[in-house]
């Protein structure tokens, strides 16, 4: 291996990654900066700095209600997604049945189809069924595209573990429920967390489907949209978003730590490249045919 070439290419990759980091973070930094904008019109350069928007934002009852509604909707949608997504993943992984491949396809549809189609379809459906638009309809709308993130993560994890484990457990005398609790669940738990986190993020920031499925309530994105429409108090949106960013850094970091642990089949440490690659892959690749 050409070592100086490797060094150059490693350096190049590091530089590239730094640029990508800058690209990703620059608008975020702008948002944080403009939360302190003294003017209510966003322009460059900054007119002046002020913290006046912070108190007005947090005293804004509409904003607090919207934030709370978003949190509730996100939690409910994520819970439904975790329950249903994992159930679907188990079924698809464990059993061969007719239409197995179609399930993955159908579950991806809400995410793959434009949100406006999902929104319009659900809206007509609810209108036809004269269902009142409320938190329930919002949650239903979100859950349709949240299920798939949990499903995919769970399925990917299940595919990387050995099914013989379950059989071994049953052979040792555990019934289905015990096997599930002590063998299957630990393996899949972190995948559920990772999928759930992404599901919550998708639900929390969703605008289009929510526009069509909400009644006279505002989730946070709808509140932001309305605030932007009016244009009176623009920096308030920056303040709220900054708050959300700061609050979510901790759970996201935690989740990343969690998902590094692959559960049951972790082979010990090893060298830089050996330990880095998902250890269970080694076993899975050796034991099972490639997916």
> Within 81-110, which residues bind other proteins (CB under 8 A)?
83-85, 87-88, 90-91, 94-95, 97, 101, 103-110
The tokens of 202 are what?
Answer: 């998708």
Alpha carbon separation from 286 to 214, 279, 280 (Å, rounded) = 50, 11, 10
- Total residues contacting other proteins (rule CB under 8 A)? 130
User: Looking up tokens 């793959």, which residue turns up?
Assistant: 112
The answer to whether 261 contacts other proteins (rule: CB under 8 A) is no
The answer to whether 164 contacts other proteins (rule: CB under 8 A) is no
The answer to whether 185 contacts other proteins (rule: CB under 8 A) is no
Asked if residues 185 and 229 have their Cβ atoms less than 8 Å apart, the reply is: no
> Cα–chain-centroid distance for residue 171?
37
The answer to whether 30 contacts other proteins (rule: CB under 8 A) is yes
∠ CA 153-76-87, rounded to 5°: 40
The answer to whether 7 contacts other proteins (rule: CB under 8 A) is no
The answer to whether 127 contacts other proteins (rule: CB under 8 A) is yes
Site stretch for other proteins (CB under 8 A), options 48-56, 183-191, 245-253: 245-253
Asked if residues 223 and 66 have their Cβ atoms less than 8 Å apart, the reply is: yes
- What residues between 210 and 239 interact with other proteins by CB under 8 A? 214-218, 220-221, 224-226, 228-232, 234, 237-238
- What residues between 47 and 66 interact with other proteins by CB under 8 A? 61
Q: Which of 112, 139, 110 has the alpha carbon at shortest distance from 126? A: 139
Peptide bond into 111 cis (omega under 30): no
Give me the count of residues in the chain. Answer: 291
Residue 95 or 268: which CB sits closer to other proteins? 95
Burial environment of residue 276 by CB neighbours within 10 A (0 to 12, 13 to 18, 19 or more) = exposed
Site stretch for other proteins (CB under 8 A), options 39-47, 49-57, 184-192: 39-47
Chosen residue from 159, 163, 258, 264 binding other proteins by CB under 8 A: 159
DSSP state of 265: G
The answer to whether 124 contacts other proteins (rule: CB under 8 A) is yes
Residue 111 or 189: which CB sits closer to other proteins? 111
CB of 24 to other proteins, least distance (A): 6
């Amino acid at each position: 291996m050409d070592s100086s070439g490797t060094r150059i290419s490693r350096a190049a990759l590091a530089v590239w990654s730094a640029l990508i980091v800058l690209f990703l973070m620059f608008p975020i930094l702008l948002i944080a900066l403009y939360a302190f904008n003294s003017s209510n019109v966003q322009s460059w350069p900054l007119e002046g700095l002020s913290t006046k928007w912070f108190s007005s934002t947090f005293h804004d009852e509409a904003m607090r209600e919207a934030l709370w509604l978003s949190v509730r909707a996100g939690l409910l949608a994520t819970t439904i997604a975790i329950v249903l997504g994992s159930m679907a993943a188990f079924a698809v992984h464990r059993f061969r049945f007719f239409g197995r491949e179609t399930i993955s396809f159908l579950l991806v549809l809400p995410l793959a189809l434009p949100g406006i189609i999902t929104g319009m379809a659900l809206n007509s459906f609810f209108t036809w069924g004269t269902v009142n638009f409320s938190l329930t309809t919002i949650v239903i709308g979100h859950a349709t595209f949240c299920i798939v993130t949990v499903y995919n993560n769970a399925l990917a994890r299940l595919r990387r573990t050995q099914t013989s484990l379950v059989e071994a457990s049953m052979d040792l005398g555990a019934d289905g429920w015990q096997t599930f609790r002590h063998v299957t669940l630990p393996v899949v738990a972190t995948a559920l967390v990772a999928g759930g986190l992404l599901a919550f993020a998708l639900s929390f920031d969703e605008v289009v489907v929510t526009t069509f499925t909400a009644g006279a309530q505002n989730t946070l994105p709808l509140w932001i949209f309305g605030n932007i429409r009016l244009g009176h108090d623009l920096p308030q949106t920056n303040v709220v978003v900054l708050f959300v960013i700061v609050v979510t850094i901790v759970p996201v970091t935690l989740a990343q730590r969690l998902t590094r642990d692959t559960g049951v089949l972790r082979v010990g440490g090893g060298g830089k490249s050996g330990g880095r690659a998902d250890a269970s892959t080694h076993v899975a690749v050796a034991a099972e045919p490639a997916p």
